[in-house]
Amino acid sequence: MNWDPLILTFELALTTTLVLLVVGIPLAYWLSKTRARIKPILETLVSMPLVLPPTVLGFYFLLAFSPNNAFGAWIDEWLGIPLVFSFAGLVLASVIYSLPFMVQPIQAGLSSLPPSLSEAAATMGKSASTQLFRILLPNIRKSLLTGIVLSFAHTVGEFGVVLMIGGNIPGKTRVASIAIYDEVEALNYAAANTYSLILFVLTFVLLLTVYLVNGGYLKRFWR
């Protein structure tokens, strides 16, 4: 069995999750606080990957990241990073595709906190960033865990987006979900079953952890 697709999948999921933490936390904080008129539009854009077919997003990513378009050409020329059929392209597409899985739990957690937390910190002269990282986020650990686990697990299970933007290049863009498809097409059901079973067990354990932690079952178990 070739372990490269699984290793690449976990590298992609980990990288995507780390980037989403950097991008998603400030975005979720702003969405939870703002009353700007564009808020519903931004929330809609963030949520669209939940309902759009992955191939639709993948198709537009393919067009946007292509060197024949302005954005793709700019990235390629100035940063020297080709986005089509590359790991960097997979990461960028995965960040956009998994964005709601990070932003929405954190936004919901921040919105559920009483305003008095921020108001008390503000009266003590704490900056917005200090309020966020030292006061608010520690009070929504469960929401943070949910966002991290869902983002990681969702990236592990991607197929349509990664196939459209990354293709099927062994050792470069051939992730586990694509490897399963290839093995089924080749009637190699044993290898397909091995890949599938590993992903099934991994995602089950990750989601079970979220439910155990958020439901307080671990505390009951250790008492």
For residue 80, the domain's CATH number is 1.10.3720.10
Buried b (16+ CB within 10 A) or exposed e, 130-151: ebbeebbbeebeebbebbbbbb
Average pLDDT, the chain: 89
Total domains in the chain come to 1
pLDDT for 187 beyond 80: yes
Q: Largest Cα–Cα distance in the chain? A: 66
**Nearest C-alpha neighbor of 167 from the set 91, 86, 97:** 86
Domain that holds residue 105: 4-221
For the segment 66-121, what is each residue's pLDDT rounded down to a tens digit?
888 888 888 878 878 788 889 999 999 999 999 999 999 999 999 999 888 877 87
Mean pLDDT, to the nearest integer, of 9-15?
A: 96
